[in-house]
Structure 1
Amino acid sequence: MSSLNAASQAAGVHSDAANDQPLLAFIGEQAQAQRVVILQRKQLSGGAIQENWLLDVQLDGGPFAGVQRWVLRSDAASALPASLSRAQEFAVLSRVHRAGVKVPRPLWLCRDPAVIGRAFFLMEWVPGIAAGRLLSGQCAAEGNAQLAAELGANLARLHQLRPPCGELGFLPLPDVAPALASIATHRAFLDRHQGAHPVLEWGLRWCELNAPTDSTVCLLHRDYRSGNYLANEAGLQAVLDWEFTGWGDPREDIGWFCARCWRFARPDLEAGGIGQLEDFLRGYREVSALHIDREQLDYWQVMATLRWAVIALQQTQRHLSGEEPSLELALTGRLLPELELEILRLTSGAKQ
């Protein structure tokens, strides 16, 4: 079938449809099952870069016999240039899962576009809340110290992965300081982009002049923030959306997590809108000896805000180009003035 969306407009049993047969055959082969029935499927909310489908699957025979709840992750109609392919993301997910990072357990990768029209992979479903605004809005006045510390420790476990790593050989290593490599990428995009963005150019030049000279290169999530992990009353359950993973400075992930643009309903809680910075860093330091001071954190928050501004422009382009008409993508571009104001605040010392 050309897309799951075409055959999944309603809940119920759809596995007897002719278009489902390639998918059923793939699952049956991988799960060593004699019979596979898709009981229900539902497109999950979020996923502006990729599509995620919740599948309830009945399997007869094999090690997965019974009813299983899995998530099928595939490409969206259009993608951002920095996004990994599904095969690459599956390789990343498999490696970090083995490293003890809290992620959904990856199951199987399918590269054959004849199955659903696009490459995809299946992973186990994990319970929890992902919505950043909901998570931040539920926090007590002082935040959720346990969740903040768990997120810090989980990120530090990821940062223990260092190059070289043969199975992640498709991830390029920066040939200059990681901050300078990011600045060059953002500047190249702005040079090609129609329209002037003087505040973004100002921010890039400020980051260039203040770039750190000491950097340890490790594996980064590059979108580690509230909204991209699942949590419940028991704490952190899993980190999602690994399509931007790459090698870089570990402080980049910390700055991204703490940036004001990802604090949602609680801008006063610097640790992702859900906790105090001290709790997040306490959890991080239980695993890693990395130290980040206030000046360094401010620098990487500027870098985070610049990167999100560039992504906002790219998302808008996806809508305006006609590749993927979407109100969500169009509205993302409306965030730009707010991001520019934050860049000016952080780089000029202006009061909030």
Structure 2
Amino acid sequence: MELIVHEKRPALEAWLAERFGADHVRIDDVDRLGGGAVSENLALVLQVDGGPMQGWHEAVLRAAAAMGVDASLSKTDEFAVLRAACQAGVAAPEPLAVCLDAGLIGRPFYLMRRAEGVASGHVLVKADEPLRALARQLGRELGKLHRVRPGAAGLECLPPLTTDPARKAIATFRGWAGAEAGRDPVLAYGLRWLERNIPARQEVALCHGDFRTGNYLVQDGRLTAILDWEFAGWSDPMEDLAWFCARSWRFGRMDREAGGIADRADLYAGYEESAGRAVDPVRVAYWETAAYVRWAIMSVQQGRRHTSGVEPSLQLALTGRMRPEIEHDLLLHLDALEGMGV
């Protein structure tokens, strides 16, 4: 993608000038950013001459991967979600422009303003003391997002829910897994547990879908931006809290249940400050079960992107080999719930 952007630079610069209402835009620097297993991210330095954006800007070009996963949004829809999140006051990168013409650089893409900070989960969890203020801040940001409800302007592109979130999730997981849902005993057990324990009460809000350590930026101990919105959609807001707290995203710090950085109580307290609702621990426990089932299936999908030959990638190959570990986490979680009488 980096080479393509260099080759298409004149066309891309002309397109940016038109979108920004500028006389001219020059791309002065292009660098590949780390991460991005579902999308490709390039850092751009732009010089804008004329118009309301006159000056220098650091931006990120976010393009669809050559072979995505079933749950990811199109770049047009992801851009709409990012815009809605910013309008809701969430600490998300400012969306700048979206390209519907896949022919411009070969794939759909959008630009957002670049935020500074560290995203690596392995780095963030190494703090000597729990990052309680950060966890609380993350909870507050999530609470703001969950105030966005179906019918919100600009989000007509998101598929509406035709059933409750839990039943939709189960059907989606079975669709992704195919025959594997019957062949793999742990997946079969997890899916059956989800079917037998559907919460009686569910709400619907705009959910991030991948809200976890590794998908936000921190600078000087403060949150600067929440990243990677490609899995956003309508669901039970407790799903986002559960995904953040799942063992898979603690990066070895199992003693800090909120993303490996703090206690659940810190995350939950921040959430309740801004969400206008209380955290429901029973529903969170349900959606944490769903998190392990979902991630186990997605690990298989990621591995197949590598083995197909379309996207040779060590990162994707290693993700594909994580299923036994994820399924072990699922069994530990269900065993703990049984001990609690859930």
Q: What amino acid maps onto 1:236 in structure 2? A: L
Question: What amino acid does structure 1 have at the position aligned with 2:18?
Answer: E
**Is 1:246 matched with 2:264?**
no
In structure 1, which of residues 141, 147, 168 is the aligned counterpart of residue 134 of structure 2? 147
Query: Structure 1, residues 173-231: CA drift from partner, whole Å, max 9, x if none?
Result: 32222112111111222234498211011011111111101011111001000111111
Answer yes or no: is 1:23 the counterpart of 2:12.
yes
Residue 173 of structure 2 corresponds to 186
Opposite residue 261 of structure 1, the aligned amino acid is S
1:264 aligned residue: 251
Query: Do 2:140 and 2:274's aligned partners in 1 also have CA atoms closer than 8 Å?
Result: yes
2:103 aligned partner: 114
Deviation of 1:293 (Å): 4.4
Task: Using the TM superposition, give the Cα deviation of residue 260 of structure 1 relative to its aligned residue in structure 2, in angstroms.
Answer: 0.5
Matched to 2:106, the amino acid is: G
> Offset of 1:113 from its aligned partner?
2.1
Once residues 233 and 122 of structure 1 are traced to their aligned partners in structure 2, the CA distance between those partners, rounded to angstroms, is 25
Alignment of 1:134-283 (within 5 A): 134-137=123-126, 139-141=127-129, 143-193=130-180, 196-283=183-270
Classify 1:194/1:225 alpha carbon distance in 2 versus 1 (closer, same or farther; 3 Å).
Answer: closer
Gaps of at least 5 residues in structure 1 are: 9-16
Q: Paired residue for 1:83? A: 72
Asked whether the 8 Å contact 2:5–2:105 carries over to 1, the reply is no
In 2: Cα distance, 1:32 partner to 1:191 partner: 48
Q: Which letter maps to 1:5?
A: L
Deviations 1:135-171 (A, max 9, x none): 112x233x11110000000000000011123421222
Structure 1 residues 167-176 or 245-254, which shifts more?
167-176
Shift of 1:329: 0.8
Q: Distance in 2 between matches of 1:194 and 1:182?
A: 14
Identity of matched residues, %: 44
The letter for the 2-side match of 1:342 is D
Is the contact between residue 61 and residue 112 of structure 2 (CA under 8 Å) also seen in structure 1?
yes
Of 315, 318, 332 in structure 2, the residue corresponding to residue 331 of structure 1 is 318
Rounded to whole Å, the distance in 2 between the matches of 1:171 and 1:213 is 25
Partner of 1:42: 31
| Correspondence for 1:127 among 84, 108, 116 | 116
| Residue segments in structure 2 that go unaligned for 5+ positions in a row | none
Contact 1:177-1:213 at 8 Å conserved across structures: no
Conserved 8 A contact 2:2-2:30? no
- The residue identity in structure 1 corresponding to 2:142 is L
Could you tell me how far 1:65 is from its partner in structure 2?
A: 2.1
Q: Does structure 2 conserve the Cα–Cα contact (< 8 Å) formed by 1:158 and 1:219?
A: yes
The answer on whether the counterparts of 1:4 and 1:116 sit within 8 Å (CA) in structure 2 is no
Query: Which residue number in structure 2 is paired with residue 53 of structure 1?
Result: 42
Deviation at 1:335, TM superposition (A): 0.9
Counterpart secondary structure, 1:286: helix
Residue 300 of structure 1 corresponds to which residue in structure 2?
A: 287
How far the C-alpha of 1:52 sits from its partner, in A, is 0.7
Instruction: State the shift of 1:31 in Å.
Output: 2.1
In the alignment, residue 115 of structure 1 is paired with which amino acid?
A: L
Give the TM-score, by structure 1 length: 0.91
Q: State the partner residue of 2:2.
A: 4
Q: Distance in 2 between matches of 1:192 and 1:147?
A: 41
User: What letter corresponds to residue 133 of structure 2 in structure 1?
Assistant: Q
SS at match of 2:159: coil
Distance 1:197 1:291 in 2: 36
Q: Which amino acid in 1 is paired with 2:69?
A: L
Partner of 1:99: 88
Partner secondary structure for residue 322 of structure 2: helix
Distance across 2 between alignment mates of 1:161 and 1:311: 27
Q: Which residue identity lines up with residue 214 of structure 2 in the other structure?
A: G
2:253 aligned counterpart, secondary structure: coil
